[in-house]
Structures are given as C-alpha cells and as structure tokens.
Amino acid sequence: MARHMTGMPAPIERLVIVGGGTAGWMAAAAFSRFLNNGHTKITLIESAEIGTIGVGEATIPPILTFNKMLGINENEFIAATQGTFKAGIEFVNWGAIGERYVHPFGFHGREIHGVAFHQLYLRARSRRPMPPISEWSMSGAAIRLGRFARPGTDASTPFNQLYYAYQFDAALYARFLRTYAERGGIERIEGKVVDVALNGESGFVETLTLADGRRIEGDLFLDCSGFRGLLIEQALKTGYEDWSHWLPCNRAVAVATENAVPPEPLTRATARSHGWQWRIPLQHRMGNGLVYSSAYLSDDDARDTLMANLEGPPLADPRTLSFTTGRRRLSWNKNVITLGLSSGFVEPLESTSIHLVQAGIARLIALFPDKRCTDVERNEYNRAMKDLAEDIRDFVILHFHATRRNDSPFWDYCRTMQPPDSLARKIALFREKGRVFRDNFELFATPSWVAVMFGQGIWPDGYDPIVDALDEDHVDRAIEQMRRDYEATAQRLPTQAEFIARCCAAPGSPLRAAVAAS
Ligand SMILES: Cc1cc2nc3c(=O)[nH]c(=O)nc-3n(C[C@H](O)[C@H](O)[C@H](O)COP(=O)(O)OP(=O)(O)OC[C@H]3O[C@@H](n4cnc5c(N)ncnc54)[C@H](O)[C@@H]3O)c2cc1C
C-alpha cells in the first residue's frame, strides 16, 4: 500500500477562497462538507470594507439539490433567510405591451403515448382558441391562484409536479451559509487582499498579501471576489468575452420596499421602455430593480422610472450597479477557479447566476484536482462551464429578441439584432413544428423553451405529424381533464402566506400576524 502511495500526486492541502459574497460562502459551505478529509485546510478571506453586491435573491429549482447536498432543513433555511417560495416567473409586457405570460417551473401537462404535451396543445390550438399553456402546469396553477404547499415525496399527481425554488434576502443567505461553513471548520479571515504573487515558473498563484501584511499561501484558489475578478483577471489576465451586443443592458438600479401585498410564489419581470423591472417578494420586504442600458437611458431617468413603479414605500435610497454582460474566457486558469460574478454575468432575468455558482461547485467537486491541476481536468471543467453559460445566454437573449415591441430604440435594437447562430437555429426549428432539441446538458428543458417561445409570440406554423396518429377526441378530453386537475389541486392548497406562517416564518415575520388576523 505504502509503495502504491509514493507515486500518488500530492493532494491539495490549502484551499483559499477569496470573497465572502453568495459565491464565496456557497463554495465554503459545500467544501466544508465535501473536503472534510483531515488534510485540506479551507480558508475564506473577505473584506467588510469592500462589502458584497447585495443583490441576487431569486433562484431556480436546482438550488433544492444544493441544499439537500448540504443537509439543510428547508423550514429552518426559509425562516433564517426571510425566504419565500417561487414556482416560476411572470413576464409582463415582453411580447407586446399589455401581454403577460408565465414561465412556470416543471412540466406542461403529460405526454400521451410518448407525444410531448405541447405538440398536443398545438394541434388543439390549430382547431380552436386555447387558454395559455401555463394552465397545464401545476406550478403555473399555483402561481395563478397565489397558492403554495411543499409536495412531499409521496405526493400524488399532479401535486408532485409542483416544482419550486427560493427567493431570499442575499445578506441573510450569506450569513446562513457562513454559519454552516464555520461549523464545518472553515477558517474565515477578515482582510483586504492587496497583492497576489505568482510562481515565476508555473504562473500559479502562490501567495496573497493582505493590507495588514499577513500572507496567505495556497495550493488552489477560488476567485469569488465579484466583478473585479481579483485573481482570475487582475492577476492572471484571463480575458473576458463581451456579450453586450446581444444583451445591451449594463446597469441596474435596485431598491427594497415594504410589502404592499402578501408575497406571491413568483418573481415578476416587467418590460419597460428601455429595460425591465424585477419584483422579488420576501417575507419582510420586496426586492425591486430596474435593469437597463446606459446607451438608451440615463441613470437619473432609470431611478425615476423605478421609483415611479414601486408598489410600496421604499426602505432605503436606490443603488446603481454597473456590469458588462459576458463571461471570463476560462473559468479555471492555472490553479484559480472563478465562481460567481468574477466568472461573468448574464442579467438576472431567469435567475441563473446563483445556479452557475452551484454548477461550478458541483463540477469542481467532480473534477477536484491535486496540486498539479492538470490540463485534462481544467479543460473538461472549462468546456462544461462554457457550454452552460452559453445555453443560459441564448435563453435570456430569446426574451429580448422575440418581441413585437417597437416603442423605443432599445426594443428596436433587440428585435432586429442578429442573435447567436445557436439561438437562431433553435428559433427556426421551433417556428416550423414547435420542436426543441437540447444540446449536451442544457439547463433549460423543453417546457421552459416552449413557455418563453409561446409567451413571446413565436407560434409554430404546424405541429409534429406524429400527433395525428392519436385520436383527436380522446386527446382533447384527456388534456381538458389535465387542466381541471391542475386547477382543482391548486385550489386545495393554502396561500403562500398561510403556508409560510404555518411552517417556516422568520422570527417576528409580519406574515404570522397577517395570517392570524385574516
Ligand atoms: C442587478 C443584479 C441582480 C441580480 N439578481 C440575481 C438573481 O435574482 N438571482 C441570481 O441567481 N443572481 C442574481 N444576481 C447575481 C448575484 O448577485 C451573484 O451571482 C451573487 O450575489 C454572487 O456574487 P459574488 O459572491 O460573486 O460577488 P460579491 O457579492 O460582489 O462578493 C464579492 C466578495 O469578494 C470580496 N472581495 C473583493 N475584493 C476583495 C479583496 N481585495 N480582498 C478581500 N475580499 C475581497 C468582497 O468583500 C465580497 O465579500 C444579480 C446580480 C446583479 C448585478
């Protein structure tokens, strides 16, 4: 055995995470569990002086897997983060002013004899007017009625098709994960990194120097330093691929407000004349922000637009943030892996940024290196992260490009731009017979593409001929029954406020009192 081991490459002994925002603490929490091996020391450095971005509060369903992986109790988690549940996103004014649609999580309907539901829907729609396809979704029905309950593992159909994610207070989320990670043995250092020393031969990062002179050495570094990309860009000059020509928004102005209504189980994205506005309901407040392009709207006008379109009184002054949509050319360069905003950013329209952190962590666990950080592992990681980022990019571009809006130069640009070839191909295929072919391990499944294509007004010229092999009356009766089942099941659920008040309200949450009084 000993002889065997002498040839083994040296394992990572010091993992250093730079940054204590959502990305840094997600990584710290995950590695406190998965690198709990007795020989890897994990250190996280964060700087209170610099702070965190303080936004990033809506997620998508895979986050449930992350929490399960960490063994987090969902009720405790929701209570600790002032969280709410999210069954999908409602898009207002995207296809055209006055239109709205829902992108619900999970499926639309059920296949019949292996034929995708949306194809059955398309045939029915070719014969008569049909309600929106989201009426054939458990999550869609929950959103429409403002209801929510957690489907247990033994829940019956169609309740078990209620897919959901979380909305939470970003600062409380980082605090929750910090407690978890510190319990797991992570060392946290408060300090500002002022210098990064590279090995003269390999170019690997070796030592970080803090403002007070302390030196931190490491074998592997996670750059979670936010947009500045302290290690991946400032030290390693990795380069950035700019996607602004497809996604021209480069600013956001954000403000929290008091809740004017009980929290609904959805994030809302409302298109405005030069961008769009998010609305994320939490237990104790509403998160709001306007994402816009500085080429078309001044910061002052953006702030005025946001403040004129709030539902409740603001809790603070609005904050403006700048970003460049795109991605770092390599997610893993030398011995540095970038997670979070340091790896790039696609605007938060489909709440994908925190998911990219999670996906990066999962892939890094699967490809965890030894001290050499070989090209084989690095290339595999980079390929997977590039594919994922580009899939997300295309899905987000679809929302801007597939519009009939012509009320501003911003929408004229988005509507008439040339999308990436990969997206153009998808749209062309869908326009013919409503087909969606997924490449590799794309994040968004067919129902998501269908929800947004239909929602934005891309109606195929026909449907898949395979549908005509199925008896039309039988299919029509079956799909009508499905719709009634979703509706009836959602009717039986509590409102989201009742559900939260019952099992996961934050200490002192206004929801408890509101529900008790109703
Ligand atoms: C407008 C907007 C809205 C968003 N909405 C969503 C959303 O709804 N859903 C979603 O999934 N994502 C969203 N995101 C993205 C999300 O905010 C980020 O993915 C997430 O917060 C992770 O950020 P981060 O940890 O990478 O960076 P940050 O929060 O910026 O953290 C960086 C950390 O690095 C530290 N640091 C930096 N420099 C140094 C230094 N020299 N020394 C020591 N420490 C240093 C900082 O102190 C901080 O702790 C949004 C982003 C924006 C801009």
In angstroms, how far is CA 191 from the centroid of its own chain?
29
Q: What is the DSSP letter of 115?
A: B
Predicted confidence at residue 440, as pLDDT, reads 72
Cα distances (Å, whole numbers) of residue 444 to 62, 399, 433: 11, 14, 19
Measuring CA to CA, how many Å separate 156 from each of 86, 138, 295? 20, 12, 51
CA 214 → CA 191, 217, 232, 334, distances in Å?
9, 10, 21, 23
pLDDT for res 340: 98
Q: What is the pLDDT at residue 5? A: 56
Nearest to 440 by CA among 394, 377, 400: 394
- For residue 443, the 8-state DSSP code is S
Pocket test for ligand 1, best of 17, 50, 193 (most atoms within 8 A of CB): 50
Query: Six-digit token pair at 360?
Result: 């990066």
Among residues 86, 192, 237, 334, the one annotated as catalytic is 86
The C-alpha atoms of residue 500 and residue 263 are separated, in whole angstroms, by: 10
Helical residues (DSSP H) of 351-471, grouped into ranges: 353-366, 375-401, 409-416, 421-433, 446-455
What's the pLDDT at 6?
61
First to last CA, the chain: 69
**Cα(224) to centroid(ligand 1), Å:** 8
Its pTM stands at 0.97
Q: Are 252 and 289 in contact (CB under 8 A)?
A: yes
Letter for the amino acid at 351?
S
pLDDT at 513: 77
Q: Which of 16, 17, 22, 323 to mutate to test the pocket of ligand 1 (most atoms within 8 A of CB)?
A: 22
Q: What is the pLDDT along the chain (518 residues), one digit of tens a residue?
A: 344 456 688 999 999 999 999 999 999 999 999 998 989 999 999 999 999 999 999 999 999 999 999 999 999 999 999 999 999 999 999 999 999 999 999 999 999 999 999 999 999 999 999 999 999 999 999 999 999 999 977 788 899 999 999 999 999 999 999 999 999 999 999 999 999 999 999 999 999 999 999 999 999 999 999 999 999 999 999 999 999 999 999 999 999 999 999 999 999 999 999 999 999 999 999 999 999 999 999 999 999 999 999 999 999 999 999 999 999 999 999 999 999 999 999 999 999 999 999 999 999 999 999 999 999 999 999 999 999 999 999 999 999 999 999 999 999 999 999 999 999 999 999 999 999 998 777 899 999 999 999 999 999 999 999 999 999 999 999 999 999 999 999 999 999 999 999 999 999 888 887 777 77
Buried b (16+ CB within 10 A) or exposed e, 116-145: bbbbbbbbbbeeeeeebbbbbbbbbbbbbb
- Atom nearest to 225 CA in ligand 1: 34
CA 438, distance to chain mean position in Å, is: 19
Q: Is 86 a catalytic residue?
A: yes
CA–centroid distance, residue 257 to ligand 1 (Å): 21
Q: How far is CA 322 from CA 106, 127, 314, 345, 500, in A?
A: 33, 48, 21, 11, 35
Nearest C-alpha to atom 13 of ligand 1 is from which residue? 56
Cis check for the bond before 348: say yes or no (omega within 30 of 0): no
- Report the pLDDT value the prediction gives residue 326, as an integer from 0 to 100: 98
Residue of 337, 256, 192 whose CA lies nearest to 54? 256
> Tokens standing for 286?
């509403």
Lining residues, ligand 1, CB within 6 Å: 18-24, 45-47, 50-53, 55-59, 170, 192-193, 224-226, 228, 230, 252, 254, 289, 321, 323, 340-342, 348, 351, 353-354
pLDDT of residue 458: 98
373 SS3 class: coil
